[in-house]
Amino acid sequence: MQANDVIVVTGAAGFIGSYLAGYLNHLGFDRLVLVDDFSNSRKSANLADKKYLHKVHREQFFDWAQNNPGIINYVFHLGARTDTTEMDYAIHKKWNLDYSKQIWELCAENNIPLVYASSAATYGNGEHGYTDSHDIVTSLHPLNPYGVSKNQFDIWALAQETAPPFWAGLKFFNVFGPNEYHKGRMASVIFHAFNQIKETGKARLFHSHNPAYKDGEQIRDFIYVKDVAAVCVWLMQNKPANGLYNTGTGKARTFKDLVKAIFDTLRIPEHIEYIDTPIDIRDKYQYFTEANMAKLRKAGYIPPFYSLEAGIKEYVSDFLEKGKFF
């Protein structure tokens, strides 16, 4: 990747997409084409102060690309319908499967490297483990339509004979960090817990409805968005073997650990209250996720990942406390 390369970022007004745009700017890349539906005013602050060439509505992007042949050097496809409580599969199919196929075909036909967002939601309840092996993809059973749509695209991508010159599908685990202010219910637990603690002095966590786990000891692999952006750029610059790559830390932590880190950062005494998991997500709730990061490490990705405590400290102190964006 060179400074004068034209880089497309889809989902650019969203959480990870806007962070990646800012991260690319910090690395000296400002010839960005930002693709999204920009009608949500709550997302507009995510793009403030970003440097870019064009903003293109997602429904006009393919016409724009056809009218600007040869201009695109790289595509980061992070745009998706990410609401895990949306049960209408047709919506997920449109944006997470069909639109992604069009992105793939554009990149394949024009020899453009592609990094796209898959999801750890593809692993379902983890009965096949959390290893990013291509051998298990068709056997996975995601727990919601969002995860199904992401897995269906992974299956489709692996079956294609015609592909971009380099491609990687990233199975994002539990991402947190700046620019998720607009996400509402779908924002990270860190975001919600911070606001609860600031307002009430206590954090609310879900009761465990699984006898194998105590309250607050549900376990997830939480990854700071800065690490996600670093992995995205590293893959595009180094182009290891094509395929699916887990994007987590490889070290699962409990929700208790998470809220303790927020209390510690805020220097507030720890006070946790437990509430029932909402009925609409209770039977689809993941109690354990942990990325097996061996493939990415073997591919040559060396940098250490932020610890949960270090990521939360930076996120809370530099962004949430100040209401800042990245």
Active site residues: 146, 183
Q: Which SS3 state, helix, strand or coil, does residue 178 take?
A: coil
How far from 310 is each of 169, 227, 263, CA to CA, in Å? 27, 12, 13
Which phi-psi region, left, alpha or beta, contains residue 236 (left: φ > 0; alpha: ψ -120 to 50)? alpha
The C-alpha atoms of residue 238 and residue 80 are separated, in whole angstroms, by: 25
Please, which residues bridge with residue 253 across strands?
220
Any idea which residue has 């539990």 for tokens? 174
Q: What burial letters (b/e) apply to 220-232, b meaning 16+ CB within 10 Å?
A: bbbbbbbbbbbbb
Any idea which residue has 């996120």 for tokens? 315
Would you say 171 and 291 are in contact if contact means Cβ atoms under 8 Å apart?
yes
How far from 104 is each of 62, 107, 114, CA to CA, in Å? 12, 5, 7
Alpha helix stretches (DSSP H) within the chain:
15-26, 61-67, 89-92, 99-110, 145-159, 189-200, 225-238, 255-266, 279-282, 294-299, 308-315
DSSP 282: H
Would you say 87 and 22 are in contact if contact means Cβ atoms under 8 Å apart?
no
Tokens of 232: 């995205």
Sequence-ordered list of residues with C-beta below 8 angstroms from that of 9, at least 6 positions apart, any chain: 17, 20, 21, 24, 32, 33, 34, 35, 76, 78
The C-alpha atoms of residue 17 and residue 229 are separated, in whole angstroms, by: 9
